[in-house]
């Protein structure tokens, strides 16, 4: 029996295709979300978790290889790889602390891409800089900071912005009215929640839990 409701096939396929494009060896965790829905989780190479809910049903919490699931969407689940999921995930959806226009997120993402191209071609301060060093510096940069009603400072690193842009989570012609992004907080986690998925980053230096 197929695990995925036909109505969610396109959404699941889009999520999996982008995850595989960014990391050919990516795994995806399938978690029951109630009301006949399943949440797909994956981890991007730059340490951000991404998630998307789709109509479907799974008997338990399981991890599979993303590329295998992508070619088996209309069939049963591929072999489980539960031991390969080694990261914690947020305990809940968190609370919205700010709403940002989608245009601002796209602008910040595009500016980072332009900076990376220019630095790679021309160097920084006249000196050549390795591509990995440039990438890591840009991902760690904090282009957006919001303050909660309680006075807490919430930093949005570029790695979160790049996650929602490169995973295609922003609004499209199918949802033109949803052109905004919610900043959510759940304990140590910060998220950008978009029309087609969310990206999560934990303040701690690592997501590995052994």
Per-residue pLDDT, 209: 36
118 and 194 together in one domain: yes
List the one residue out of 184, 192, 124 whose CA is nearest residue 158: 192
- The helix/strand/coil state of 180 is strand
Identify the DSSP state of 17.
Answer: H
Looking at 26, 58, 84, which one is the last position of a domain? 84
Burial class of 45 by CB neighbour count within 10 A (0 to 12, 13 to 18, 19+): exposed
Token pair listed for 88: 């914690």
**Same domain assignment for residues 99 and 189:** yes
* Structural domains counted in the chain: 2
Q: Range of 154's domain?
A: 95-202
Burial class (CB in 10 A: 0-12, 13-18, 19+), 47: middle
Domain end call among 84, 110, 136: 84
CATH number of the domain that 11 lies in? 3.10.150.10
Sheet of strand 180-186: strand arrangement = 62-65, 27-34, 37-43, 49-55, 197-202, 189-194, 180-186, 95-101
Q: Indicate if 14 and 99 belong to the same structural domain.
A: no
State the 10-residue block means of pLDDT for the chain, 210 residues long: 78 96 97 91 96 93 96 90 96 94 93 75 53 77 92 94 94 65 95 96 57
Neighbours of 38 (CB within 10 A): 21
Q: Give me the pLDDT at residue 206, please.
A: 41
Q: Are residues 106 and 133 in the same domain?
A: yes
Question: Could you tell me the two tokens for 143?
Answer: 């282009």
Q: Specify the residue for token string 């800089």.
A: 129
CATH assignment of the domain containing 141: 3.10.150
161 and 180 co-located in one domain: yes
**Same structural domain, 138 and 187:** yes
């Amino acid at each position: 029996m197929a695990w995925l409701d036909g109505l969610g096939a396109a959404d699941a396929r889009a999520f999996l295709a982008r995850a595989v494009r960014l990391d050919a060896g990516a795994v995806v965790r399938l978690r029951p979300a109630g009301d006949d829905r399943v949440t797909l989780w994956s981890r991007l190479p730059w340490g951000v978790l991404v998630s998307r809910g789709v109509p479907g049903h799974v008997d338990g919490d399981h991890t599979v290889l993303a590329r295998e699931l992508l070619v088996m969407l209309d069939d049963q689940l591929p072999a489980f790889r539960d031991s390969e999921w080694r990261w914690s995930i947020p305990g809940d959806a968190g609370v919205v602390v700010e709403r940002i226009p989608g245009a601002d997120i796209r602008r910040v993402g595009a500016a980072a891409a332009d900076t990376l191209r220019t630095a790679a071609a021309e160097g920084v301060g006249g000196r050549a800089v390795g591509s990995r060093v440039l990438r890591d510096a840009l991902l760690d940069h904090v282009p957006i900071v919001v303050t909660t009603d309680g006075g807490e400072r919430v930093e949005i690193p570029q790695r979160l912005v790049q996650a929602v842009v490169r995973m295609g989570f922003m609004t499209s012609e199918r949802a033109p009215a949803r052109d905004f992004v919610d900043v959510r907080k759940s304990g140590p986690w910060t998220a950008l929640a978009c029309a087609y998925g969310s990206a999560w980053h934990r303040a701690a230096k690592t997501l590995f839990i052994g």
